[in-house]
Amino acid sequence: MAATILITGTNGLVGFRILTTALEAGHNVRFAVRSEDKARIVSSNPAVQKLAPGDRLSAVVIPDFTIQGAFDSALEGVTHIIHTGSPVPMPWYDPYKDIFEPTRKMCSNILSSALKTPGIKSVVITSSIVGNLGSVPPAHVVSAATRLPLPDPIPQTFKDGYEAYIIGKIVQLHDTDTFVREKKPPFGVANIVPGYVYGRNELALTVEAMGQSNSSNNAIIQGVTGGEMAFPVHMGFVHIDDIAEIHLRAAFLDREPNSDVSKDFGVARKVDYDTVWGYVEKAFPKAIQDGVLKKGNVPSLDFQYDSSDAEKLMDGKLKSFETAVLDVVGQYLEVSGREKA
């Protein structure tokens, strides 16, 4: 029987690429979004249309993912789940209501609906390296298997959205560990733990979207359009094509059923943001000469991360930072109607 993958977060940077990668691999995809409008944005996107998925692609609209049982009927006939849709901090978000609470509730809802659904083979959950690192990266090496202590008591208020995001990811990893340990589910569970994700974002169809609705790619855009990131960016990266493939490989791994541990893959390879401008100077001299590209500033935060589990899963073939930078900047020039030179 062909696999049917339910994917969340498909109207966002990472989830959309997972969706197109899954379609390219021949899977059936059911994507869960919060409104019909968001479903249309995904299914009418030129990158999806180009794949002509026909009835291999369907949308399910769930207005509130945080309601218990919200996924019960959406999972009928589904074989694999990739849960990527989760808030990333925005200045206008309420830290508890819009970030911490949905991060936690959506994930536990999906896991409990999966437990009630016969035929689920795996649940893959997108986490973040901040779940292993906390707010201040430690001096020692951490990996996807690292767990920080569960805050006691679990906070109900946060100083800002970023703190809510970090604690949300820490608590989500603990909640998932507890679920797997206590329920020993018949399906495999994997946490995928990315550093900053960069690469083409097919959802960004305008210059404005490239700068404003482009999640982590915004760091690269700032760095090449004379901007400055308001906060330091972790020096660990993964190319968007690789993180999509890692999610799919993790979903289709052979596993012992009823295991009491998840299998986690983290990837945050060390980069130096000072190299960004050099890559751009070499590839796009005309755009610099024309004043379309200008050197900006990306302050960064150092840390040590062991990505070997994900590298092994990918047979050692991970795309370079230079490729990611040129993909993002090349797309920026494309949507600006400029020559890629």
Does residue 87 interact with ligand NAP by CB under 6 A?
yes
| 216 vs 234: CA distance, rounded Å | 11
Determine contact, residues 269/238, Cβ cutoff 8 Å: yes
Q: Would you say how long the chain is, in residues?
A: 341
Does residue 128 interact with ligand NAP by CB under 6 A?
yes
Q: Select the residue interacting with ligand NAP from 53, 75, 85, 173 (CB under 6 A).
A: 85
User: Going residue by residue from 39 to 78, which x/- string records binding to ligand NAP, judged by CB under 6 A?
Assistant: --------------------------x-------------
Distances in Å between the alpha carbon of 195 and those of 49, 93, 128, 133? 29, 22, 6, 11
Tell me what percent of the chain is helix, strand and coil, each rounded to the nearest 5. 40, 15, 45
User: Going residue by residue from 217 to 256, which x/- string records binding to ligand NAP, judged by CB under 6 A?
Assistant: ----------------------------------------
- The stretch among 83-91, 247-255, 316-324, 328-336 that binds ligand NAP (CB under 6 A) is 83-91
Alpha-carbon torsion, ordered 65, 70, 75, 79, to 10 deg: 50
Which of the residues 10 through 39 are near ligand NAP (CB under 6 A)?
11-15, 34, 38
User: Going residue by residue from 145 to 184, which x/- string records binding to ligand NAP, judged by CB under 6 A?
Assistant: ----------------------------------------
Report residue 311: phi and psi, to 5°.
Answer: -60, -40
Does residue 185 interact with ligand NAP by CB under 6 A?
no
| Terminal-to-terminal C-alpha distance of the chain | 47
Nearest CB to ligand NAP, comparing residues 215 and 336: 215
